Structure 1
Amino acid sequence: MYLGVDYYPEHWDLEIMDHDLKRMKEMGVNMVRIGEFAWHLMEKQEGEFDFSFFDAAIRKIKEYGIHIMFGTPTATFPAWLAKKYPSIFIEDENGQRLSFGGRRQYCYNSVVYNELSLRIVEKLVEHYRDEEAIVSWQIDNELGHEGSDLCHCPDCHKGFQEFLEEKYQSIDALNETWGTIFWGQTYNSFEEIPVPKTTITVHNPVLLLDWARFRSLSLSRYALKQIELVRKLKGSHQTVTTNLPGGFFGKWFDHNEFSRDLDFVSYDNYPVWGGLKEPVSPAQLSLTLDFVRGLKRENFWIVEELMGAQGHDIIGYLPRPNQAKNWAYHAFAHGCSNMLFFRWRGMNRGAEQYCLGILDANDRITRKYKEVQEFFHHIQNYEELFNSPLKADVALLYDFDNIWSWRIQRENPLIHFSEEAVRLYEPFYRLNVNIDVIRHDWDFSGYKVIVVPILKVTDPELAKRLEEFTEQGGVVIFSYRAGVKDKNNNLLLGEMIPGPLSGLLGLEVEEAESLHEGQSAPIISKEGHMGNASIWRDLIRPTTAEALYRYDDSFYKEFAAITVNSFGKGKAYYIGAGVEQEILHRMAEDIAMLVQLDTMKTSPGVEAVKRQTKNQQYLVAVNHNGYPESFEGHELKPYESIFFEIGSGHVLKKI
């Protein structure tokens, strides 16, 4: 098991390294991550390569028996490169070229940047391919983060046109699919097609979805070039990864397109950041980790685990004593197998002076150091447990085409795919059921329950696979606005919503209403339970489905709000409105009983994650609350995690 810190020896005098490394060893560090922002140190002038600084740093690190993850330095390029090749910079939707000074300002389609960045990677990996201390390469850094996944420059414009020509083959086919007869936007050639810079009103939604696909391809193509180059040149003892930033569903790229080619996926885990007055909810944090695990359906690394408060200009919430350590335990419970904390010592200069680390600029050992030390010394005893696979009976499906369609046409400013995903994830999470968060193309036949949030764009092939899953006894749960559009991002002509899902769900949506801030609609169950719907409501006419809830206002009493349809041996649920979370909780409990999920009830804020090695079952209990909680006869202190062995009769033995 690798446990360590992100370390930047170039930020300090080399003379301080012995002082740092001695304390790291005492803390329990056996790996440091270095190098990902140091291109200028390696190539101070174009074509003149010098790795002597890192040669010296690595010699010193090896003296302490510490392994290394080395980052390729392509996320921040030297000033000389920016001055000589200004075409490499991102151009925004207003035609404004970004300037030197931040990070990741480069265009993924820049021929010049591809050439020069791959050259430094080649020289770096060739130089260290036989270095025994370097056991892993991290390509770039947080690809696509902070808006760096979008560019509207001439290289992107030309690449987009070529992408469209390859996809559609003829301009007539594109015009037909896009419906360019509308607003007189018909094209005579691919050379006439714009990139979606700022315009009056909005661009064609099919153009925008194709643009999103092109953006994803651009980033993934660049990432794969680095992955393939490093894999070709690296030593046989070295692996390849990259570190993913959070906010997955808010990105203009599909992480699956390159992550599946990595030896393992890595993630930067920040439950709170500058501008947030409090951490994200435990359910959202858990869903995020389950997403990372779902990219390869394998355990993953965390190479930046928050310890101190964070922010570039605005500082976020200060993690309470033991809270950040508890987030680390929580990450291991959800599939992390190796962890590096960000960062060893906070930097006293530069843009991240307020991105605090284990040590602050004062260089003193304080509570944070002691928490990480305690965590490292404890977690290293459970390598077998946290290398074991995590088995889930429930899966949440997503499709980036659908997510991008929602970002292109919101329909209601309250609708965010990320929030809707958490709404459907949370009821099963509260039952302490393990959940996989996976792209729609994974085989999901082995699960008991499939959850599908707001699937506006629906692929008929996916609809067929979900029918087969349900026929065989599975349960599938859809939320509102399913089956509205085809894969081109166009409405379905001559079909009732939910289009290809109509047979599975046994219903038709006659009309729908967007419920804005402050608006709601009353609903009532067949047993007489009252509730409210917000955000959206589909007015549903069941065909073969049974109405579980109906609307209870004077105009729409005849329409269903929530339905269930028996289909083969299984059932398909449709939640046609933004109903209250308590209703979803009751539904999840009923479904869990129906398919015999292994559930466990805990207090709100207390999570119990089941893990299994070859010979033993375990349970990790996590208290996300800042106050004590009782769990199965044991006290959980504020922000405490406890491991249990599960004995016969499900007796828990604290270990």
Structure 2
Amino acid sequence: MNKNKELLFGVAYYFEYLPYDRIDQDIKMMQEAKINVVRIGESTWSTYEPQDGVFDFSKLIYTLNKMRDAKISVIVGTPTYAFPTWLARKFPEVLVENNGNRLPYGARQIMDITSPIYRYYSERIIRQMLQKTVDYENIIGYQVDNETKHYGTSASHVQAGFVEEIKEKFSGDLDTFNKEFGLDYWSNRINTWEDFPNVNGTINGSLAGEFAKYQRSLVQEYLSWQVSLVNEYKKDSQFVTHNFDFEWRDYSYGIQPDVNHFEAAEPLDFVGIDVYHPSQSQLTGTENSFAGDVARSIKHQNYLVLETQAQAFKSWTPFPGQLYQLAFNHIANGANMIEYWHWHSIHNSFETYWKGLLSHDFEPNPVYEEAQKVGHDFERLSDKLVNLNHSADVAFVVDNESLTATSSDWIEFAIGKDVNYNDVFRRLYDIFYKLNVRTDILNPKTINLSDYALVVVPMLYVSDETFLKALNHYIHDGGNVLFTFKDGVTDEHVKVRTDIQPAIIREAIGAHYHMFVDPNGESLEDQTGIFEDTDLQISEWAELLESDGATILAYYNNHWKKFGAITENKYGNGTAWYLGAWPSQSVTNALVKHVIKQSGILQSGYDATFPVIVKSAQNEYGANIDFLFNFSDTSTSLDTPFSGMELIKQEYTTQGSQVTLQPWDVKIIERSN
């Protein structure tokens, strides 16, 4: 397993963007903030190759030399996610084509990652860069590309590649393919391979889902290709990483629809992520947590935060204390590096007001001064906080194919206009987070079910029978699963099963349904007291459940009174819960609390829930480390169940004593018992 020697604290640094050469002053300020790593190079292809075959790495080399002399480590990014104007002029086909339209030049990430011409020129600039940098001992790693996705690429050569993959998958058997994908509908049947139509116009959910999966595989292949190039040059002591991002809703929100992170990360030494979040009064820490759980779970190791915000926008500029708090929050989630995007604020163009640690005047400011405090404490505490080992009793199962299918533009595939896959995932995830229950996040191919006491399966609409049967066996052998509506509906080709739903997992759930409806004003009737004092309204979705032995925890209470909405079933030695509707937040909260209690899940040991968040881990010396965060404007106190040393202020705490957390505060306790 890859390990870091120390906590890394850094920034993205773009000497090429500076209005004048101030690198010596920048380095002096970095050293005063104990910044020990910078990321460079990933955005400036046109500077390094101003004309076809004319290379000028002088600014890159100048920066590397300065950082080497200052003993600051460097991560070099391959500069392929933003290509130069001359390449677009000479070869417009390198611009991505989606839905029959070729994007115009200007923005970043508008390339066709499959274009042979784009690959040729990308390989050339990568090799040229690596040849120039390979002997720099202060380069600790390389980042391949930047927040790579498939960008909707669907040009003719992509369509042809997809057809070849289908041919191989079905051994050339068109009859089987047509049957599995339901292509007799509306005469979409394909009778010769030459007739295979452009998938952009398809009305077939199975075909659209398969094409989206193929597009995601192109990202995996592209990153693997870049990693293989870097591996030809890098030293054994250097790592290769990539900065994955997430579904974007003005900040990092949910599972990325255009990349299968679990597959795309396979060739990397370290998983890297970019995570941005609400700030000021809206800060909860949830985005850092879910993104960190994904990153940590992919390889079951610590990860790198390659980008997160410093000042950024006016609504993101952190309150005093928040930057410091969040730096340790990343460490508590499993990070070994925190790197801000970026060092200085750009003086013109698209991201002028996505501000860095320094404002446009380059002078010290409250955010930079708080970063100084972070850097000094990272250096002081690195030995105790690097390479923390994290464990969880609960796992979420996420799935790209289900996300695609249930977030479709086709209304019959969607849950409702205001609810999609990531909404369901995040509502459930956020509850566990706020109750201080640690979670891993995996997918059906990477999870070892027996590692967990409880597994949460939100909207696994698409699944082969192997995994669904594995869930049944896991429950029967003593495991616990919280299922939701839409679980297990289709096979791996998005073909709805002919069994009574929820089909294969009905055996463990102990209930079934024939129909689902729009609630249309329906609400719930609490049968057990679990949902006492909750808002019993539901919206968007309601499956009409009938018991096959399961206990119905909540019925509908109006037109569908005879049907259940939420069930619990003992199956073998385990328990399955099924949430068959989209209820209020308070009902979901109550259900999750009930599931946690019945599953015997241990919480943090501290009597605390949000806004106090507790994250615990074990360090390399075997000591248990507790991170306590107060995500609020109000001071709060809590009893400590363990004796230990509070590491930031070096104050000893005794078991049963109170610890006070100021607004936006963090305490780190190294337990002594």
Global fold match (TM > 0.5) = yes
One of 565, 572, 578 as aligned partner of 1:561: 565
Amino acid paired to 2:218: S
* Aligned mates of 1:258, 1:527 — CA distance in 2: 45
2:311 is matched with 308
Q: Contact 2:482–2:595 at 8 Å: present in 1 too? A: no
- Alpha-carbon RMSD across the aligned residues, in angstroms, is 2.0
2:544 is matched with 539
Shift of 1:471: 2.1
Shift of 1:634: 2.2
1:288 is matched with 291
2:241 is matched with 241
SS at match of 1:261: coil
1:362 is matched with 361
Give runs of aligned pairs for residues 256-405 of structure 1, distance below 5 A: 256-272=262-278, 279=282, 281-310=284-313, 316-383=315-382, 384-405=384-405
Say if 1:528 and 1:333 are closer, same or farther in 2 by CA, change over 3 A.
closer
1:593 is matched with 597
1:182 is matched with 185
* Aligned mates of 2:175, 2:63 — CA distance in 1: 60
2:423 is matched with 419
Say if 1:572 and 1:119 are closer, same or farther in 2 by CA, change over 3 A.
same
Matched, 1:491 2:496: yes
Amino acid paired to 2:373: E
Shift of 1:505: 0.9
Shift of 1:139: 0.4
1:652 is matched with none
Q: Cα deviation per residue 1:226-285 (whole Å; 9 max; x = unaligned)?
A: 011111221222110011122252422211112122100111121139xxx975754344
Q: Contact 1:278–1:317 at 8 Å: present in 2 too? A: no
* Aligned mates of 1:295, 1:71 — CA distance in 2: 22
Moved more, 565-574 or 402-411: 402-411
Q: Contact 2:281–2:632 at 8 Å: present in 1 too? A: no
SS at match of 2:142: strand
Q: Cα deviation per residue 1:465-503 (whole Å; 9 max; x = unaligned)?
A: 21222122111110112221111111112x100011111
* Aligned mates of 2:375, 2:637 — CA distance in 1: 26
* Aligned mates of 1:98, 1:2 — CA distance in 2: 38
Q: Contact 1:432–1:601 at 8 Å: present in 2 too? A: no
Shift of 1:560: 1.4
Q: Contact 1:284–1:422 at 8 Å: present in 2 too? A: no
1:464 is matched with 469
* Aligned mates of 2:282, 2:166 — CA distance in 1: 42
Give runs of aligned pairs for residues 139-178 of structure 1, distance below 5 A: 139-144=144-149, 149-168=151-170, 169-178=172-181
Matched, 1:89 2:91: no
* Aligned mates of 1:124, 1:41 — CA distance in 2: 12
Q: Cα deviation per residue 1:518-565 (whole Å; 9 max; x = unaligned)?
A: x44233223485623222111111112111211222x32221111111
Amino acid paired to 1:643: I
* Aligned mates of 2:529, 2:664 — CA distance in 1: 40
Name stretches of at least 5 consecutive residues in structure 2 with no aligned partner: 1-6, 248-253, 640-657
Shift of 1:3: 1.1
One of 499, 510, 514 as aligned partner of 1:510: 514
Q: Contact 2:275–2:291 at 8 Å: present in 1 too? A: no
Amino acid paired to 2:362: D
SS at match of 1:295: helix
Shift of 1:316: 4.5
Q: Contact 1:161–1:191 at 8 Å: present in 2 too? A: no
Q: Contact 1:6–1:340 at 8 Å: present in 2 too? A: yes
One of 623, 627, 634 as aligned partner of 1:620: 627
Say if 1:281 and 1:405 are closer, same or farther in 2 by CA, change over 3 A.
farther
Q: Contact 2:435–2:609 at 8 Å: present in 1 too? A: no
* Aligned mates of 2:295, 2:179 — CA distance in 1: 38
TM norm structure 2: 0.90
Q: Contact 2:531–2:591 at 8 Å: present in 1 too? A: no
* Aligned mates of 1:222, 1:529 — CA distance in 2: 49
Shift of 1:425: 1.9
Q: Cα deviation per residue 1:58-99 (whole Å; 9 max; x = unaligned)?
A: 111111111100000000111111111100111232x22111
Amino acid paired to 1:641: V
* Aligned mates of 2:283, 2:104 — CA distance in 1: 32
Q: Cα deviation per residue 1:556-597 (whole Å; 9 max; x = unaligned)?
A: 222111111111211111111112333333333333333432
Q: Contact 2:333–2:615 at 8 Å: present in 1 too? A: yes
Matched, 1:639 2:638: no
Matched, 1:430 2:429: no
* Aligned mates of 1:119, 1:647 — CA distance in 2: 55
Q: Contact 1:333–1:386 at 8 Å: present in 2 too? A: no
* Aligned mates of 1:583, 1:320 — CA distance in 2: 33
Amino acid paired to 1:269: V
2:78 is matched with 72
One of 34, 42, 53 as aligned partner of 2:48: 42
2:617 is matched with 611
Identity score, percent: 27
* Aligned mates of 2:361, 2:14 — CA distance in 1: 16
Q: Contact 2:569–2:576 at 8 Å: present in 1 too? A: yes
* Aligned mates of 2:144, 2:430 — CA distance in 1: 33
Q: Contact 2:623–2:670 at 8 Å: present in 1 too? A: yes
Shift of 1:108: 1.6
Shift of 1:324: 3.1
Q: Contact 1:279–1:317 at 8 Å: present in 2 too? A: no
SS at match of 2:626: strand
Moved more, 161-170 or 76-85: 161-170
Matched, 1:225 2:228: no
2:524 is matched with 522
Amino acid paired to 1:309: A
1:549 is matched with 554
Shift of 1:609: 0.7
Aligned residue pairs total: 630
* Aligned mates of 1:271, 1:188 — CA distance in 2: 50
SS at match of 1:235: coil
SS at match of 2:481: strand
Q: Contact 1:606–1:621 at 8 Å: present in 2 too? A: yes
SS at match of 1:571: strand
* Aligned mates of 1:280, 1:536 — CA distance in 2: 30
Amino acid paired to 1:23: M
Amino acid paired to 2:151: D
* Aligned mates of 1:106, 1:195 — CA distance in 2: 20
Shift of 1:13: 6.1
SS at match of 1:338: strand
* Aligned mates of 1:151, 1:491 — CA distance in 2: 28
Shift of 1:51: 2.1
* Aligned mates of 1:417, 1:210 — CA distance in 2: 18
* Aligned mates of 2:530, 2:34 — CA distance in 1: 59
* Aligned mates of 1:278, 1:488 — CA distance in 2: 44
2:117 is matched with 112
Q: Contact 1:453–1:478 at 8 Å: present in 2 too? A: yes
* Aligned mates of 1:119, 1:523 — CA distance in 2: 66
Say if 1:173 and 1:638 are closer, same or farther in 2 by CA, change over 3 A.
same
Amino acid paired to 2:464: D
SS at match of 2:110: coil
